[in-house]
Amino acid sequence: ISSLKERVAELIPAKQAEIKEFRDAHKNTVVGSVTVDQIYGGMRDIRGLICETSLLDAQEGIRFRGMSIPEAQAALPKAPGGEEPLPEGIWWLLLTGEVPTAEQVKQVSAEWAARSTLPKHVSDMIDSMPKTVHPMSQLSAAVTLMNSDSSFADAYNRGVNKRELWKYAYDDSVDLLARLPVAAAKIYRNLYHDGKLGAEVDANLDWSANFARMLGFNTPEFDELMRLYLTIHCAHEGGNVSAHSTHLVGSALSDPYLSFAAGLNGLAGPLHGLANQEVLRWITALKDEIGTYEPTDEQLTEFLWNTLKGGRVVPGYGHAVLRKTDPRYTCQREFALKHLPDDPLFKLTSQLYRIVPDVLTQHGKTKNPWPNVDAHSGVLLTHYNLTEMNYYTVLFGVSRAIGCLADLVWSRALMFPLERPKSETTESLKAIVAGK
Ligand code: NMX
Ligand code: MLT
């Protein structure tokens, strides 16, 4: 049905031609160098990937197809009566570089609602999961299992021409985005409630409102939070662990389900998306130790130093690329100032914002003492009674699918090859340095 798919099809030839011309003209132009320190140091700042859908600036933060978060918030269509952007709109923006109309976004919502049925074996598998399995492991397993009806894998097996494979990556991506909230809500309801979805998918509701209903939430403010949350967590250029894992696995022509499951497994790490949960765990530990959510500055500072002296990180602070406060933190702070200015956890979050950067600066290790996206999200969710912190990264995963899959569709459209960088041993590297 999708006019979005048609629009992507229209855009592909010009982009392919642009890249061909650029590559031919600059085949051997050097755009960077690599030091020994970077090789051991997690490849920071090494340019080695193309991701057309978003770009991160260390000072300004993320831009989605050139749009900052405030710009995207202002430009993207909203739900009737709503003020936050609909994540369906950022899917359109990431895929095309164009701001969709309200009507186009409605079409995406309707298509996702229509394609949301979980295959029975996926639903049965989620229901059979022991409660001890972390929600992120459940989500990743569910996504992996969905590949049984991958149209991409089927097309590859049928010998479809490589130039056409993106179309099947697109179809799988839409199915995956449509089903993901259902799988995620099922996991939530099984783990923390009676195992029944809060509601069935309603063809007249947007993706976020449907997700909220399935989780069991039914207030306009929570819908708005979901719309904002699912929009801002979607993409952070190509080098972060979840985007890069998806991109890498996709380059082996693994289908979108297998590729994004790899991304989810990376997102489940505490230095990446699990920080979402870790921030609330850390705040809870603080409260347990001090006995209140209203510590004095001195108590807070001492607790911070104990964390650092214990060889642990302060979750929600620092970043591999950003060197300023994450604009995703700032827009969540603005949401809190608007909707929950007197919430005790929000006040604590603000107190942390005042104190942590100085402590981390004195500690002298982190290159960026400022908060990232994860420092704020759990506090907002808790305010609306989504208190099960182990679940928070699942929400991050649902959003991140938008960015990872948009990148995957374009990677297949541009027929990027198998990704396979060169590794060295310390011995071979020493030989290189010695000029042998
Ligand atoms: N608390 C304590 N130490 C820190 C922190 C922090 N928040 N951030 C960085 N450091 C340390 C880091 O562990 C490293 O120590 P060492 O030399 O002993 O290995 C040193 O400072 C230098 O690290 P950086 O170069 O500043 O940061 P890097 O790029 O290596 O790591 C993070 C980036 C995000 C992994 C790191 O800042 C961190 O662990 N933050 C806390 C976890 C977190 O909030 N992660 C979420 C990131 C966003 N997301 O959703 O993915
Ligand atoms: C992300 O959203 O992916 C994180 O901020 C981590 C990163 O960009 O490296």
Q: Which atom of ligand 2 is nearest to the CA of 373?
A: 5
Q: Which helix (H) or strand (E) holds 40?
A: helix 36-40
Whole-angstrom CA distances from 204 to 115, 200, 217, 222, 399 are 13, 12, 17, 18, 20
Q: What is the CATH number of domain 275-383?
A: 1.10.230.10
* CB contact set of 75 (below 8 Å; sequence gap of 6+): 67, 85, 99
Q: Retrieve residue 403's tokens.
A: 């960015």
Q: Which atom of ligand 1 is nearest to the CA of 321?
A: 29
Residue 372 beta carbon below 6 angstroms from any ligand 2 atom: yes
Taking the alpha carbons of 223, 224, 229, 234 in that order, is the dihedral positive or negative?
positive
CA angle 140/206/111 to nearest 5° reads 75
Write down the mean pLDDT value for the chain: 97
Residue 282 beta carbon below 6 angstroms from any ligand 1 atom: no
pLDDT per residue rounded down to tens, the chain (436 residues): 469 999 999 999 999 999 999 999 999 999 999 999 999 999 999 999 999 999 999 999 999 999 999 999 999 999 999 999 999 999 999 999 999 999 999 999 999 999 999 999 999 999 999 999 999 999 999 999 999 999 999 999 999 999 999 999 999 999 999 999 999 999 999 999 999 999 999 999 999 999 999 999 999 999 999 999 999 999 999 999 999 999 999 999 999 999 999 999 999 999 999 999 999 999 999 999 999 999 999 999 999 999 999 999 999 999 999 999 999 999 999 999 999 999 999 999 999 999 999 999 999 999 999 999 999 999 999 999 999 999 999 999 999 999 999 999 999 999 999 999 999 999 999 999 999 8
Candidates 172, 175, 255, 374; catalytic one: 374
The radius of gyration of the chain's CA atoms, rounded to the nearest angstrom, is 22
ipTM: 0.99
Q: Domain map of the chain by residue range?
A: 275-383
Residue 273 beta carbon below 6 angstroms from any ligand 1 atom: yes
Measured in Å, residue 91 CA sits from the centre of ligand 2 at 18
pLDDT in tens, 83-135: 999 999 999 999 999 999 999 999 999 999 999 999 999 999 999 999 999 99
Helices (H) and strands (E) in the chain, counts: 20, 2
Q: Is 319 a catalytic residue?
A: yes
Residue 393 beta carbon below 6 angstroms from any ligand 2 atom: no
If you take atom 6 of ligand 2, which residue's CA is the nearest one? Answer: 240
d(CA 268, CA 270): 7
* CB contact set of 423 (below 8 Å; sequence gap of 6+): none
* In the block, residue with structure tokens 């297949």: 412
Residue 46 beta carbon below 6 angstroms from any ligand 1 atom: no
Candidates 233, 236, 244, 319; catalytic one: 319
d(CA 198, CA 191): 13
